[in-house]
Structure 1
Amino acid sequence: MPAQFQSWMVGLQWRDVLASGNDLGLAVGQPQFVTRLKGGGTPFDGNTAWELWYQIQISDAISLTPALFYLSRPQGNLTGPAGRNRFSVFGGLVQTVFRF
């Protein structure tokens, strides 16, 4: 076997937050990362991903969902050591859904 991988994720969602029909969610996890290499090496290749979102139900047919996300080490072991030069990603987006 050349390498072993793993990933995990947990998410929580609360319904009717601040108003009926509006939902709040939080998720944290690690996308697939290497846990063991051929020959027995064990690199620190992990990356933690966080997401926070709030769905606003504008009408029966329209919802708006702003979300924030953070990736601690998007390139895994290639990201580099912790400290000032550490590469991480913080971002946001807005999703609009129209139902017909």
Structure 2
Amino acid sequence: MAYPVVDWRRATLVGALGGGAFWGLAAGAILASKASTTAVIAICITAVIVVSVGTFIYRRSTSPRNRALGMGLILAPLTGLTPVLAVSLPGVLTHAISWRG
């Protein structure tokens, strides 16, 4: 069964707007909670749910519009992953290297 082609312009627009909103709210939650573990875990769970919903919409839809929405939801949490890793990994690595148990 052939699926319709994804409208990548729409998918990247949805992903960029959704990702901006997602990571804006995530950064606000992290700052408000002073980077508590609970907030970070809640953000990770929310990201997994958004990607799962996007995957479900993408795989179940037949119209290009809905497939673009699903792909955009998949892309949304991934848009801010690189900056988050670039900011957080040096701190984590510094603590791991300097830790003497």
TM-score bracket for this pair, using the shorter chain length: under 0.3
Greater helix proportion: 2
TM normalised by structure 2 equals 0.23
Give the structure with higher Rg (CA): 1
